[in-house]
Structure 1
Amino acid sequence: MSVVIPSIKDDVLTLESVPEDVPVSVEREGSLNEARNRGIENAETDIVAVLDDDIAFSEELFYALVDEVDEDVLLGVADWEFGLVAGRVMIFYKSLWRDIDGFNERLHSHNGDTDFSLRAHNAGYSVKTVPRHLFYHEDHERSITTWDRAWRLMYLCGKHVRYAPYILSATIAYNLGLEAGISKEQNLPASIRHAVDELEPE
């Protein structure tokens, strides 16, 4: 397997956690989704992990998650709103990426993971998630405006009509949950629970 990390940073935190024997490509050109696609296209392995540049994790957890992936599975950390896979950690076979025509480059740097997950599910693949807290993540502000979020929501609903009611209801539930101080997390599959080595920020 190999790892793709889109990043424009000089210091890429994620590199410190990737096992030494795993090939890594840090993609620095183009938008986020363009970088993802280029890295995957150039990968010479069947399995690819697409990772954000600001996370940390144990080697044991990394390999446990890889072992959960087969040709019919998209696996990764749960996103914030839809219960789909977030771009922070996505692991899949390159054949899946090829089958659904890669990441949507029109979406540039936001919601490409949501669109990718919906297309994978619609094509018959299984979308499996694990909790975000298993990976340490450096906090930073999200650079997206309310108008941009609204445009992307309308775009996703228009493109994925079958899923539009779910997308809208999940968005409303998520935002109401934020107002009420409630967060939604996914459960870790029992088959990899034994391998979890949670990382806490120092």
Structure 2
Amino acid sequence: MAVWLVVGLGNPGPTYAFHRHNVGFMVADELARRSNAGFSAPRGMRADVCETRITTAGMGAVGADARRVILLKPRTYMNDSGAAVAKACRYYGAEPSEVIAVHDELDLDFGRLRLKSGGGDNGHNGLKSIRSSLGTGDFLRVRMGIGRPPGRQAPSDFVLTNFPASVRNDLAVEVDRAADAVEALMLGGLEAAQNRFNG
């Protein structure tokens, strides 16, 4: 069975759980919830892994059109995410074109979503690490807007701060929408998903 490897980018541990940099983890958790499946930490994988599948009936469903899905949350911290992704690709037999990285994007306002294939890393250390470890940038990306920091705050500090309580409800909506976008990518391909979600 062909496989999709969905990589939620973030940093492990409760300290980072609600940081802007961790939206990828949040989306991976939502996809696991939809699958009624949990994460485990397989020996040597350097990541939390949830094995599930997708059909036209949704995540976790059974059907003749089922395709295997591996949800991955690297335990390596953001800057070394590629090590876990490369290991998972080798283990599960996923090609770079079957990798979907879900990550925060400073250059998009909060509430905006962009889907793309390939491209640079735009200063994002998680993407930079994946590109380096896979030897290519030709994987799919779901870019979740977090906006630019206010005033003179450094972007590197901004991404490691919690979303304010005032946007928690909106954040839940955006995580849900990004999970929908990942499903759309897997089921209908990039162009159809872009037409539906890019804004």
Please say whether Structure 1 and Structure 2 have the same fold, judged by a TM-score greater than 0.5. no
User: Which has the higher Rg, Structure 1 or Structure 2?
Assistant: 1
TM-score (norm 2): 0.34
Higher relative CO (CA 8 A, sep ≥ 6), structure 1 or 2?
A: 2
